Protein backbone atom coordinates (compact mmCIF):
# COMPACT_ATOMS: atom_id res chain seq x y z
CA UNK A 1 0.00 0.00 0.00
CA UNK A 2 2.63 2.55 1.04
CA UNK A 3 4.81 1.30 -1.80
CA UNK A 4 2.07 2.20 -4.29
CA UNK A 5 1.75 5.69 -2.87
CA UNK A 6 5.50 6.13 -2.99
CA UNK A 7 5.61 5.06 -6.65
CA UNK A 8 2.69 7.35 -7.39
CA UNK A 9 4.47 10.30 -5.79
CA UNK A 10 7.67 9.50 -7.67
CA UNK A 11 5.82 9.41 -11.00
CA UNK A 12 4.05 12.65 -10.14
CA UNK A 13 7.42 14.22 -9.32
CA UNK A 14 8.95 13.12 -12.61
CA UNK A 15 5.92 14.38 -14.55
CA UNK A 16 6.13 17.74 -12.80
CA UNK A 17 9.82 18.01 -13.66
CA UNK A 18 9.18 17.18 -17.31
CA UNK A 19 6.39 19.72 -17.59
CA UNK A 20 8.54 22.29 -15.85
CA UNK A 21 11.39 21.68 -18.30
CA UNK A 22 9.02 22.13 -21.23
CA UNK A 23 7.80 25.44 -19.89
CA UNK A 24 11.33 26.87 -20.06
CA UNK A 25 11.44 26.47 -23.84
CA UNK A 26 10.27 29.72 -25.41
CA UNK A 27 10.53 29.84 -29.19
CA UNK A 28 10.39 33.63 -29.16
CA UNK A 29 13.38 33.92 -26.86
CA UNK A 30 16.44 35.29 -28.68
CA UNK A 31 18.37 36.30 -25.55
CA UNK A 32 20.83 33.42 -25.84
CA UNK A 33 21.58 33.84 -29.53
CA UNK A 34 24.77 35.46 -30.81
CA UNK A 35 23.78 39.08 -31.37
CA UNK A 36 24.96 41.99 -33.50
CA UNK A 37 23.60 45.48 -32.89
CA UNK A 38 22.96 48.10 -35.54
CA UNK A 39 23.16 51.83 -35.09
CA UNK A 40 21.73 54.53 -37.34
CA UNK A 41 23.77 53.51 -40.39
CA UNK A 42 26.34 50.95 -39.24
CA UNK A 43 26.81 47.54 -37.73
CA UNK A 44 28.21 48.26 -34.24
CA UNK A 45 30.58 45.32 -34.77
CA UNK A 46 31.54 44.42 -38.33
CA UNK A 47 32.25 40.75 -37.79
CA UNK A 48 31.08 37.91 -35.58
CA UNK A 49 31.99 34.26 -35.06
CA UNK A 50 29.17 31.81 -34.48
CA UNK A 51 28.75 28.05 -34.38
CA UNK A 52 27.32 25.81 -37.05
CA UNK A 53 23.55 25.67 -36.65
CA UNK A 54 23.26 29.01 -34.85
CA UNK A 55 20.73 31.67 -35.65
CA UNK A 56 22.10 35.21 -35.62
CA UNK A 57 20.10 37.84 -33.77
CA UNK A 58 20.25 41.31 -35.35
CA UNK A 59 19.08 44.20 -33.20
CA UNK A 60 18.24 47.60 -34.66
CA UNK A 61 18.92 50.00 -31.80
CA UNK A 62 18.09 53.10 -33.85
CA UNK A 63 14.87 54.40 -35.41
CA UNK A 64 16.46 53.56 -38.80
CA UNK A 65 15.41 51.32 -41.64
CA UNK A 66 17.94 48.63 -42.51
CA UNK A 67 17.49 46.12 -45.32
CA UNK A 68 19.91 43.26 -44.69
CA UNK A 69 20.77 41.00 -47.61
CA UNK A 70 23.54 38.63 -48.79
CA UNK A 71 26.65 40.24 -50.25
CA UNK A 72 28.70 43.31 -49.42
CA UNK A 73 29.48 46.91 -50.24
CA UNK A 74 32.71 47.34 -52.15
CA UNK A 75 33.37 51.05 -51.95
CA UNK A 76 30.09 52.72 -52.85
CA UNK A 77 28.88 49.80 -54.95
CA UNK A 78 26.51 47.12 -53.72
CA UNK A 79 27.63 43.61 -54.63
CA UNK A 80 24.77 41.20 -53.95
CA UNK A 81 26.11 37.66 -53.71
CA UNK A 82 24.95 34.12 -53.27
CA UNK A 83 27.45 32.30 -51.08
CA UNK A 84 27.44 28.52 -50.92
CA UNK A 85 26.21 27.36 -47.53
CA UNK A 86 24.79 30.72 -46.47
CA UNK A 87 21.12 31.09 -45.60
CA UNK A 88 19.25 33.44 -47.90
CA UNK A 89 18.87 36.70 -45.99
CA UNK A 90 16.49 39.47 -46.99
CA UNK A 91 15.11 41.20 -43.95
CA UNK A 92 13.81 44.73 -43.52
CA UNK A 93 14.21 46.33 -40.09
CA UNK A 94 11.94 49.31 -39.62
CA UNK A 95 13.67 50.77 -36.57
CA UNK A 96 14.02 49.74 -32.93
CA UNK A 97 13.28 46.13 -33.77
CA UNK A 98 15.14 42.86 -34.01
CA UNK A 99 15.07 39.56 -35.86
CA UNK A 100 16.91 36.27 -35.86
CA UNK A 101 18.32 35.26 -39.24
CA UNK A 102 19.59 31.89 -40.35
CA UNK A 103 20.24 29.27 -39.22
CA UNK A 104 23.78 29.12 -40.57
CA UNK A 105 24.13 25.40 -41.19
CA UNK A 106 27.51 25.33 -42.95
CA UNK A 107 30.96 26.34 -41.80
CA UNK A 108 32.49 29.22 -43.73
CA UNK A 109 32.78 32.98 -44.01
CA UNK A 110 29.66 34.76 -45.17
CA UNK A 111 28.87 38.38 -45.99
CA UNK A 112 25.82 40.46 -45.27
CA UNK A 113 25.20 44.12 -45.97
CA UNK A 114 22.55 46.78 -45.63
CA UNK A 115 21.27 47.97 -48.99
CA UNK A 116 20.24 51.32 -47.48
CA UNK A 117 23.58 52.41 -46.00
CA UNK A 118 26.80 52.41 -48.08
CA UNK A 119 29.61 50.54 -46.35
CA UNK A 120 27.36 48.81 -43.83
CA UNK A 121 28.95 45.34 -44.02
CA UNK A 122 28.89 42.38 -41.66
CA UNK A 123 31.12 39.31 -41.92
CA UNK A 124 29.76 36.14 -40.29
CA UNK A 125 32.27 33.38 -39.64
CA UNK A 126 30.65 30.02 -38.95
CA UNK A 127 32.79 27.31 -37.35
CU1 LIG B 1 21.27 50.11 -42.79
| pLDDT band of 15, cuts 50, 70, 90 | very low
Average pLDDT on 22-45 reads 79
Question: Are 56 and 110 contacting, i.e. CB atoms less than 8 angstroms apart?
Answer: no
Distance 41 CA to ligand 1 centre (A): 5
User: Does some domain include residue 117?
Assistant: yes
Tens of pLDDT, residue by residue over 58-96, are 999 999 999 999 999 999 999 999 999 999 999 999 999
User: Does some domain include residue 30?
Assistant: no
Q: CA-CA distance, 85 to 93, in Å (whole number)? A: 24
Q: How many domains does the chain have?
A: 1
User: Does some domain include residue 22?
Assistant: no
Phi first, then psi: give them for residue 13, nearest 5 degrees.
-60, -45
Structural domain boundaries enclosing 99: 35-126
CATH code for the domain of 112? 2.60.40.420
User: Does some domain include residue 83?
Assistant: yes
Distance 51 CA to ligand 1 centre (A): 25
Strands 66-74 and 108-114, how do they pair? antiparallel
User: Does some domain include residue 18?
Assistant: no
Report the SS3 class of residue 21: helix
Average pLDDT on 18-47 reads 76
Amino acid sequence: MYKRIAIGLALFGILTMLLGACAIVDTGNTANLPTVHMGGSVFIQTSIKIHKGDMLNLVDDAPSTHIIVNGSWQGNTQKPATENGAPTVNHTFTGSDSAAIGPFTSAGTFHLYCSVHPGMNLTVTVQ
